[in-house]
Amino acid sequence: MKKRYINLDLIRTVAIILIISNHVLSAIYVNQTNFLGWQSSNMFEKSFILINYILSRLGVPLFLFLTGALILNKNFEDKNDIKKFYQKNLISLVTTVCIWNIIYYFFNMWFNATNFSWKGLLYRVLFMKSSTMPHMWYMPMIIGMYIFLPFVSIIVKKFNFKDLLFPIIIVVLASFILPNIKLFLNFFGYAAKDCNLILNLSYGGE
């Protein structure tokens, strides 16, 4: 019987609440393109919205941390362990997403009265084109994580935290600190278009 980690269940509960809060807040306050809904608020309401917006955005990262914590804890000793992981987890996940892409494709035909195209359907099944359902952005991303996490697990077990500290600092700076500084400055009326790194970290597996 697998051991259940209560702490992970608590984190999962918090993540669910934060994601719900994010969608509610976005629907009520946030104009995603130019923040006009925020800028017209008074300072107290503006600060309240900003704090809750930032906190609620932690929901998805928490889910990703949970995925990493559970998968990185697995033992990947050789290629057979990775093969078993792919067969048990990755193939079923990819198959499920493909099925839902097909369902959503036909749903979109019915709901938006679009024409059927074998090319359009094939592109979605092969992950060459995004689904019309906005929440499906998560699935190609999590599939990408499942592909690489077994190898990340091997690296993490062979190196200690100090060895990985430098790349972690760069990723945190580029992906979290600078974007949030830019958000704060733009939110309070300061131009911060250049407050970001031009380094392309995507090729490093960020």
Q: Are residues 81 and 151 in the same domain?
A: yes
The region of weakest confidence among 5-19, 34-48, 108-122, 133-147 is 34-48
Q: Are residues 16 and 50 in the same domain?
A: yes
**139-148: long-range contacts at Cβ-Cβ below 8 A with a sequence spacing of 24 or more?**
139/97, 139/100, 140/97, 142/64, 142/67, 142/93, 143/90, 143/93, 143/94, 143/97, 145/64, 145/67, 145/68, 146/71, 146/89, 146/90, 146/93, 147/90, 148/205
Range of the domain at 167: 160-206
Q: Are residues 139 and 80 in the same domain?
A: yes
Q: Are residues 95 and 164 in the same domain?
A: no
Over the stretch 17-70, which tens digit does the pLDDT of each residue have? 999 988 887 777 655 444 555 666 677 777 777 788 778 888 888 998 898 888
Question: Which residue, among 147, 154, 152, 2, has the nearest Cα to 83 in the 3D structure?
Answer: 147
Q: Are residues 59 and 27 in the same domain?
A: yes
Higher pLDDT: 199 or 84? It is 84
Six-digit token string for 115 = 């024409």
The region of weakest confidence among 53-62, 118-127, 174-183 is 174-183
Q: Are residues 48 and 107 in the same domain?
A: no
Q: Which of 55, 73, 91 delimits the end of a domain? A: 73
Q: Are residues 170 and 140 in the same domain?
A: no
Residue 92 — pLDDT band, cuts 50, 70, 90?
Answer: very high
Query: What is the C-alpha R_g of the chain?
Result: 20
Q: Are residues 96 and 170 in the same domain?
A: no
Q: Are residues 1 and 40 in the same domain?
A: yes
Give the pLDDT mean for 142-154.
89
Residue 135: pLDDT over 70: yes
Residue 163 — pLDDT band, cuts 50, 70, 90?
Answer: confident
Number of structural domains, the chain? 3
Angle between helices 178-187 and 43-56 (to 10 degrees): 160
Q: Which of 39, 73, 107 delimits the end of a domain? A: 73
Q: Which of 73, 108, 133 delimits the end of a domain? A: 73
